[in-house]
Structure 1
Amino acid sequence: MALAALCSRFKKEENALLDVTAFVVDHKLRPGSTTEANGVVQQLQNLGIPAHRLDLEWPQGVNPLELPNLETEARRLRFRALGLACSQRKIRSLLLAHHRDDQAETVLTRLVAGRTSIGLQGIRPVADIPECYGIYGVYQSGRFRFLRECHLPREEYQSPKAPSPGFETGGVRVMRPLLRFGKDRLSATCAHWNVPWVEDETNSDRTLTVRNAVRHIFQSHRLPAALTKESISALSNRIAADVATYQEAADKLFGECQVEVNIRSGTVAVRFPDLASELKIHSKGSTIAAMLVRRAAELVTPEPEVSLQQLQIPVHQIFPDLFEDDCSSGAANKLYRRFTAAGVMFSRQDRSKEGHAAGEWWLLSRQIPSRDLLIPFTEINRFLPLKEQPFQLFDGRFWIRVRNPSKRRLTVRLSRREELSKFIKSLDYTAATRLSGVLQKVAPGGIRYTLPMLVVENADNSTEPMALPTLGFKLGGSQADGEWADLAWDVRYRKVYLPRPPKVDGIEGNESVMTSLLGPGHTEQHHIQHL
């Protein structure tokens, strides 16, 4: 209730144009939880905050208390319920009341699990909402930016049928403004304002979850000084500050890269700066280099997240001068023309003959599927008009919705050699020639087999290619004017991090100051960045 009380008081005392809505999650883990949740809803409404109860829906026939991964599954269902509730109400920022004690419990849990270094930075104060991957309007989506708004050139080679390309932006962001404050401080704040302190009874059951067991250890045992809440929080803060410093350096270098993004083929050409002089003497030079490469890889990878450990080979290949004195690198010192990592194909390019700046360029594309690699596919809902179709995240890269005018099963999947050849043959000479030229330019070699393709699956398991939606090409022949005449689609590239534009007059971003309302006598100020 402390966070709710702070928001209510801030809105009243500062006359802030703050629109606050509260959600109370009923996990349905014990009798009486709904009654308690309703009581909390009433208390929030007494503070002048509209509140809604969200009931978690566990799979039918499953007793959640018997699940070995109860904590993980409850977290997944909770965040998905919160994310959908935010999206339905057009809420972009979700404030959570995690405090310093929660941070200490998280870090100690990770220590027990064997995490080290960056893995101990704890709960992040600002992040995308977790556990909502692939939910449109919640996960990094919901707002559309045309290509011209992204400062990227419109391709001259696109098909006239191709819609104006662009990126998805938006999504729900999680903010935790109370991480610096302990539970005792927050409960005292509630007591000062006569606001009841509410706590879930299941938090005291040390056998229910690992976090509960860790909480019991903190409460019931005298731990060494290095394992007190204060020490662990200080450790987490130091690591988080170091990681932020490394990431800031990597982002600055990313801003110095020459980056050419092609969102129709999902590829990016990058010319990295020379890092040897800047990072070779830096104790964390390889970490900063990995963070830089991750920024580029995130533009094209189908994977939800890319870890720094996945990028050891790319860092050695792209920046070999950083490791020329490292005898332990071994085989990593051998340079390859192309290789894969984190779901990305890295290919060296010499583009000096094309009029580009001298130096080595890298073409990054989705890893080309092999026989051993499961090819993703997404089934399309039938009959609904295009604007009523839900966007679906295909292959982690493209948000796509399609109107299927047929009664046959239509799917989106990566193109295959035989289907692409059949599709080109269905086109008239002019369209086939144009498509062949487009493929040669934007999806050469095997990259064309990473393009999304609309495919009909027949009852006899045969398939018919219908369209290459990102390129704007639809099948030719009699079917194009018959059963599939009303086939339509809308494709948008997923949210990506592009190099930031330079500062204007020394100003970058936008901040506001929120005065602390944690009780009398406190004059701390907290900067909350508008995202």
Structure 2
Amino acid sequence: MTTIPPVLHRSARAITPHEFLEALQATCAPRFPKARGRTHRPIALAVSGGVDSMALAYLCTKIRQTDHWFKVADHPVSNPFGLIVDHGLREGSADEASNVAEVINKKLGMKSHILKVRWGEVIGEDANPNDLPNVETLARYLRYRRLGTFCMTWKMATLLTAHHEDDQYETVMMRLLSGHGYRGLQGMRPATDIPECYDLHGVYQSGFIDDQRRENPLYNITPNNREKKLLKRDLRHEIDPAVIAREVEAGLRANVATAYLNDFDGIAQGNKRAPRLVPLEFEDGGVMVYRPLLRFGKDRLVATCLENGIPWFEDHTNADQTLTMRNSVRYMHRNHTLPVALQKPSILRLAERCRARVVSAEAEADRLLSRARIHEFGPNAGTAVITLPRLTFPTVPRKSSSSPASRQKRTSHYRHIAALLLRRLLSMVTPERELSQAAQLNHLVSMLFPSLTETHPAPDPKPYVICGVHFTPLTTTTIGHPIRWLLTRAPHVSNAPKPTLEFPDLVFGKRLGKHPSAWKTQGWSELAMYDGRYWVRLLHRLPCKICVAPFEAAHHKPFRDALGGADDRAKKALAAVLRRYAPGKTRYTLPAIYATVDVGGLLAGGDWWSDLGAAALQQPSPPSTQGGVTVAAAGGGGGGGSGDDKTYDGKNNIEEPEAVPHIRSHPSGNLHADRLEWERDLQDQGTLQLLALPTLGVALPGLEDWLRWEVRYRKVDYELLKLSKLGGDRIGRRELRERVRCLYRWRSLGRRAV
């Protein structure tokens, strides 16, 4: 009996559809596990035309053929959609993009779309992007923004890229050469939020609220009929008829309205109790980038395309080792024999070990976070009150654990875990996009965790600012009682520009010949990011620009005086709200809505142009039409009139500088030209009037007829939100044991006294 000799397959084999589905399922975990997605949704593919992206496109066309109900993230896949980005950096890039789209459409039967990078919006129409020193960084920025905007427009929440094992090796090598730590050496993550789109609503960690308001949402989280029946049954079992009868009888005997006012309306009683604020909604969602090919090498992707007859297009600039650092690493790997420690298998194993270490450290930080207390988290003011857990060294019976080297090693490890915990807490309040690294939080760790300090004595608890967050101790150090810390947004510094959002005014052409009460809005504005924390949009019909900027002390007194007039209730309510939710300098970090001119007369129901054209209003003249422009009479449509509208031929925008001479060229256009010049003079004066504090729900009287707002808080970690809902009433295991021990001691002392 002879044995079969082993067969060595020297050529790579193609990736099968089942292998790809397993990799896709391991990469694209559900973002909302409780959501039910039964509707097939398209997914987007970033296709460059190379062998890796063409192999990805081919494998994605086999998803529905292999498993019709296969889910990517939260919903089944309908059809993949290829997105081809034309950077326009070299000759023939447009033709190459068209060829790639033709192959995808005809060979694979997949829909595609070519996205052209708009360099003129960033560097100007006359500049050449190839002359820029950071052309690759800028190209990446514009590429991801184009991809994210397209996915948002077409309701796609998944973007697949073709990064493979060789790309992972090159990335880790570049980071190793740059001196990164173990968190950077883990390489590219299989799943992450889309980068470079931090200020685009619906693209980066946002859009979930709008999705739930649609008739056919992408994420269906409403309970079905079966779940509703089970919920009703559980609630019915928890109801005690006797208790309900007593409550109903007691409610009928009492005056409910009077009881409510006496118990809860502190402002009516004059005891300066702050009214309860309606909490802001938290955003979530956005576009996710998945890399399902990280476990496959490039040779297998080439074999996949060759076996299935899929053509691809090579980018000749990738062969120039002097162009980019990635090209240099690729050339070194292919043309030189590197030491074993720098070869591909060793580097990939290093990345796996670093990734496992990161996962272990984050899991330990999560366990430590579960012992922390978030007594209060106020998204309206962006504040949080927390109590950190105690960190003590475990008692280990081994003698080696008491050595100085072992203790220093454990201390360094616990300090790193504490720094990861602080990074999680900083993410709730910070306005900054990137948080400080764990190594940069050493002083804060020593202050908040005195048992881990490396120098004795530990620093006293004092106010401290880092990552745009102000830490303030609320209680003094007491034996047996941990310190509560107030986390707020740090005050704005004078040498840095303050965050500002500007919204255009109601155009002059839509206000001509109409009384202010007849002015109509132009619709809701797009949601914009303010101060890295709030998504804001406005709906207004005011004749001036509106800006959102920090609440300033100079506008506090005029705003307070304009709230209630002779009635002090509104003033006391404002003082109580600021004292309760935004104490100290925290109130001057709140977003405020300003008008660029004084609109107090409009809010009071007055006219806008009442001081212009009074003499002309007495002698109205018939309208005249010249050159396609209908101009109302000089007195028609005054401040309180309702004259005819003006229509323009579209050649001249009324907001442009030449609009005034254009209007004056008509016999009866002098009055309207005077009004336009008067408004421009008001705008040039730069006078700001505080209209509202939107997150606190405080506004000038009458503003609701002219301006509305919607403010949402950015995405916050779900685990942190759960802890904030539990508040300070939760008792940990250690504290429970301490309370039980104290109870037994108290009972024993009582028995002895008896």
SS in 1 for 2:689: strand
Matches within 5 A, 1:160-239: 165-239=280-354
1:268 aligns to 2:397 (yes or no): no
**Letter aligned with residue 344 of structure 1:** V
1:391 is matched with which residue? 527
Distance 1:192 1:335 in 2: 68
**Letter aligned with residue 383 of structure 2:** T
Deviation at 1:283, TM superposition (A): 5.3
CA contact (8 A) 1:159 1:472 kept: no
1:349 is matched with which residue? 474
Deviation at 1:269, TM superposition (A): 1.3
Distance 1:253 1:50 in 2: 48
Gap runs ≥5 in structure 1: 150-154, 503-531
Which deviates more, 421-430 or 41-50?
41-50
**Letter aligned with residue 295 of structure 1:** R
Distance 1:435 1:276 in 2: 44
1:498 is matched with which residue? 718
Deviation at 1:422, TM superposition (A): 2.2
1:466 aligns to 2:602 (yes or no): no
Distance of aligned partners of 1:352 and 1:21 in 2 relative to their CA distance in 1, 3 Å threshold: farther
Q: Deviations over 1:242-281 (max 9, x none)?
A: 1121112212322332222101101111122222346983
1:527 is matched with which residue? none
1:411 aligns to 2:547 (yes or no): yes
CA contact (8 A) 1:310 1:342 kept: no
2:194 to 124, 129, 136: 129
2:97 is matched with which residue? 37
2:181 to 105, 116, 129: 116
1:518 is matched with which residue? none
Which deviates more, 465-474 or 424-433?
424-433
Residue-pair matches, total: 481
Which deviates more, 187-196 or 314-323?
187-196
Distance of aligned partners of 1:128 and 1:344 in 2 relative to their CA distance in 1, 3 Å threshold: same
Distance 1:497 1:361 in 2: 21
Distance 1:343 1:256 in 2: 25
1:382 to 486, 489, 505: 505
**Letter aligned with residue 390 of structure 2:** D
Which structure has more helix as a fraction of its residues? 2
Q: Deviations over 1:324-355 (max 9, x none)?
A: xx24xx89x322321101110011123999xx
1:47 is matched with which residue? 108
- TM-score where L is the length of structure 1: 0.84
Distance 2:66 2:538 in 1: 49
Deviation at 1:115, TM superposition (A): 2.2
Q: Deviations over 1:13-38 (max 9, x none)?
A: 12234132221111111122122212
1:12 is matched with which residue? 65
1:139 is matched with which residue? 204
**Letter aligned with residue 246 of structure 1:** A
Distance of aligned partners of 1:11 and 1:158 in 2 relative to their CA distance in 1, 3 Å threshold: farther
SS in 2 for 1:131: coil
Distance 1:277 1:194 in 2: 62
Q: Deviations over 1:376-432 (max 9, x none)?
A: 111123339585310010000000011242232221111111112321121112211
Distance of aligned partners of 1:442 and 1:316 in 2 relative to their CA distance in 1, 3 Å threshold: same
**Letter aligned with residue 306 of structure 2:** A
Matches within 5 A, 1:33-112: 33-45=93-105, 46-59=107-120, 60-112=125-177
SS in 2 for 1:335: coil
1:313 aligns to 2:448 (yes or no): no
CA contact (8 A) 2:525 2:537 kept: yes
Distance of aligned partners of 1:413 and 1:294 in 2 relative to their CA distance in 1, 3 Å threshold: same
Distance 1:214 1:413 in 2: 47
CA contact (8 A) 1:310 1:341 kept: no
**Letter aligned with residue 3 of structure 1:** L
Gap runs ≥5 in structure 2: 1-53, 71-75, 213-220, 222-263, 266-272, 396-406, 507-519, 598-683, 724-754
**Letter aligned with residue 463 of structure 2:** R
Distance 1:225 1:426 in 2: 75
| Greater gyration radius | 2
1:250 is matched with which residue? 365
**Letter aligned with residue 526 of structure 2:** P
**Letter aligned with residue 321 of structure 1:** S
Q: Deviations over 1:495-530 (max 9, x none)?
A: 11131769xxxxxxxxxxxxxxxxxxxxxxxxxxxx
**Letter aligned with residue 97 of structure 1:** A
SS in 2 for 1:94: strand
SS in 1 for 2:429: coil
SS in 1 for 2:115: strand
SS in 1 for 2:419: helix
CA contact (8 A) 1:2 1:190 kept: yes
Deviation at 1:489, TM superposition (A): 0.5
Distance 1:256 1:194 in 2: 57
1:434 aligns to 2:573 (yes or no): yes
Distance 1:192 1:222 in 2: 30
CA contact (8 A) 1:351 1:358 kept: no
1:298 aligns to 2:414 (yes or no): no
Deviation at 1:320, TM superposition (A): 1.6
Distance of aligned partners of 1:158 and 1:26 in 2 relative to their CA distance in 1, 3 Å threshold: farther
CA contact (8 A) 2:279 2:379 kept: no
CA contact (8 A) 1:70 1:209 kept: no
CA contact (8 A) 2:279 2:378 kept: no
Matches within 5 A, 1:21-36: 21-36=81-96
Distance 1:444 1:84 in 2: 39
Deviation at 1:448, TM superposition (A): 0.5
CA contact (8 A) 1:466 1:474 kept: yes
Q: Deviations over 1:102-140 (max 9, x none)?
A: 111112222232323322222111111111111111111
CA contact (8 A) 2:446 2:459 kept: no
Deviation at 1:222, TM superposition (A): 2.0
1:488 aligns to 2:488 (yes or no): no
Distance of aligned partners of 1:159 and 1:400 in 2 relative to their CA distance in 1, 3 Å threshold: farther
Distance 2:587 2:91 in 1: 56
**Letter aligned with residue 386 of structure 2:** V
CA contact (8 A) 2:383 2:488 kept: yes
CA contact (8 A) 2:522 2:541 kept: no
- TM-score where L is the length of structure 2: 0.60
Distance 1:24 1:237 in 2: 32
Distance 2:314 2:333 in 1: 17
1:445 aligns to 2:584 (yes or no): yes
CA contact (8 A) 1:290 1:312 kept: yes
Q: Deviations over 1:270-298 (max 9, x none)?
A: 12222234698365222211111111110
1:509 is matched with which residue? none
